[in-house]
Amino acid sequence: MTRRSLALFPALFPRHVSRSGVLAALLTATIALAACGGGGSDDTGSNQPVSNNSPAKPAASPASPASAASGASTSAAGNASSSSSSSSSSNSSSAGNTPSGASSPSAASTPAAASTPSADTPASGTNTSGNTNHNDTPTTPTVPVNVATITVDSTLKSPTPPYNTLYSVNMPYVSVTFCVPGKQGASQCATVDHMVLDTGSVGVRVMSTALGAALAASLPAQTGASNDGTGKAVIAQCTSYVSGYMWGPTRLADVTIGGEKASSLPVQVVGDSTFAWTPSDCSSRQASAMNTVDDLGANGVVGIGPRATDIPLAATSLLAANYYYCPTPWSCTNATVPLDKQTGNPVSAFPVDNNGTIIQLPAVAAAGQPTVTGQLVFGIGTRENNALPVNPTLTLATDSAGMFTTTYKGRTMWSSIDSGSNALFFQDSTLPAVRIGDPDKGDYWFAPGSTQNLSATMISRVGSAQTTVPFSLANAPSLFAMGYAAYGNLGAPISTYFLWGLPFFYGRNVYTVMSGAKVGTQTGPYIVF
């Protein structure tokens, strides 16, 4: 089992690392560039989220997510065929990486949520007047346009060694449709499933092999770096996550998730064969490249953190291992890139429902579950299905990177709530940890002899709001022996930070209000649960 954290690890702010052996080097490099806890200014570009933009309300609220039945597969059609993945960049033409089918981003392509109707929403076919319903043909419940299905499964487990014994657990996936801007033809669009949903980063990044070479090449290249005298060189990016890096050019695409579309959004195309050369300051900064499906454990990343663009500091400062302008694919120079040309957050680019997100996932059994299905809801306070809770556990103000503080056993650490990290990551020398996988390079996981009931206190960055959050920690090898995809009590050791990964999301509705958006009486960024 591979530890994954897709929290961004730019020069903008330091974050934990989830691969053994590289934490010290990464933290040293980052702290030298920026102070703890963010440091970057909020976005001030034209793609600022709209506050409480209220379109016409749908006829019914969305269903509340429910746990998937044991062994049931709730991923979008074609997952099994499209997610077999390439085993390396040299095998990028593998049929397993081809999307299951191209489709246009119409309402008809909105994934249907497999969930239980909420208490106040009658099930399809129910006669609320008390009379007998004689309709023999049940109707399919309408899924609101601001809802997309989240699936946690192990479909991307590779059939080839060594990946067949290492697959990512606790990875929340969504499907995304990519189209050439302004086009909707079958040859100009592709729907890519198993894109990991990540609240710890910003920006859409998709594997070139998942798009297909023809569509990837058809997407217009993003140009216009501030220090590019010609204004015509392709902008490329080295995206530094705490588990590795991604390299590839940025291109423009219409991006549709559920029924919401971000038009002409700058996205990163990862593993593009024409950009096979990687700048040395990029490849030398991280432990490994994540430029293939097997390396990442996904067909791409959908970063929906609280900012509109990923690296605001890169608009005014030259940063190592970040943005580049490339007159040729083998000649790239560090670049400053205006905010509107940086890899963008799809949520803030939606015309409506763009002030935040809600992730709804059910609780999972103590031993784990084969699959879990939930919902990603766009917008907060914009429709009947996304109102803020009346009595939340906590309203947690963060910085623009989603950071706040957590206190655990008397120690206060920088912290974030990160759906792209597949465990609870923190330091506790009293808990035994074991290396799983390669004896020299395997990842460490907590392995207590019995399940531990623990707690930590989240503290808001503004005011005195705080709450103590209980959590449990089980023996990782015993959990992995079950062979499931979802575990709510999985943890791993790191230094310096306390990262609330996907286990925190199970059994909760987690609201993230975008930076600069005002929802209710408070202006984001903040998190509510």
40 contact partners, CB below 8 Å, separation of at least 6? 12, 13, 34, 311, 312, 313, 400, 401
Predicted local distance difference test score (pLDDT) of residue 158: 58
The amino acid at 164: N
Does 65 have pLDDT greater than 50? no
Q: Residues 108-135, buried b or exposed e (16+ Cβ, 10 A)?
A: ebbbebbbebeeebeeeeeeeeeeeeee
Instruction: Confirm whether 448 is domain-assigned.
Output: yes
Read off the pLDDT of residues 119-175 as tens digits, 9 standing for 90 and up.
333 333 333 333 334 445 556 668 899 999 999 999 886 555 554 455 679 999 999
Read off the pLDDT of residues 420-432 as tens digits, 9 standing for 90 and up.
999 999 999 999 9
Does 315 have pLDDT greater than 70? yes
Please state, in angstroms and rounded to a whole number, the distance separating the CA atoms of residues 519 and 355: 8
Q: What is the CATH number of the domain that holds 427?
A: 2.40.70
429 contact partners, CB below 8 Å, separation of at least 6? none
Predicted local distance difference test score (pLDDT) of residue 324: 98
Instruction: Confirm whether 214 is domain-assigned.
Output: no
Q: Say if residues 506 and 366 touch (Cβ distance below 8 Å).
A: no
The neighbouring-strand residues paired with 436 are 443
Q: Say if residues 520 and 511 touch (Cβ distance below 8 Å).
A: no
* Biggest alpha carbon–alpha carbon distance for the chain: 73
Please state, in angstroms and rounded to a whole number, the distance separating the CA atoms of residues 52 and 32: 39
Domain that holds residue 499: 383-528
471, exposed or middle or buried, with CB in 10 Å at 0-12, 13-18, 19+? middle
Domain total of the chain: 1
The rounded mean pLDDT for the chain is: 79
Read off the pLDDT of residues 452-465 as tens digits, 9 standing for 90 and up.
999 999 999 998 99
3: left (phi over 0), alpha (psi -120 to 50) or beta: beta
Instruction: Confirm whether 35 is domain-assigned.
Output: no
Predicted local distance difference test score (pLDDT) of residue 443: 87
Q: Say if residues 348 and 48 touch (Cβ distance below 8 Å).
A: yes
Instruction: Confirm whether 1 is domain-assigned.
Output: no
Instruction: Confirm whether 491 is domain-assigned.
Output: yes
Predicted local distance difference test score (pLDDT) of residue 439: 73
Pick from 205-214, 436-445, 477-486: least confident: 436-445
The neighbouring-strand residues paired with 362 are none
**DSSP class of residue 141?**
P
Does 245 have pLDDT greater than 60? yes
Read off the pLDDT of residues 180-230 as tens digits, 9 standing for 90 and up.
999 999 999 999 999 999 999 999 999 999 999 999 999 999 999 999 999
Q: Say if residues 378 and 255 touch (Cβ distance below 8 Å).
A: no
Pick from 95-104, 141-150, 272-281: least confident: 95-104
Instruction: Confirm whether 357 is domain-assigned.
Output: no
Instruction: Confirm whether 131 is domain-assigned.
Output: no
Does 73 have pLDDT greater than 50? no
Instruction: Confirm whether 40 is domain-assigned.
Output: no
Residues in the chain: 529
Please state, in angstroms and rounded to a whole number, the distance separating the CA atoms of residues 270 and 216: 10
The amino acid at 373: T
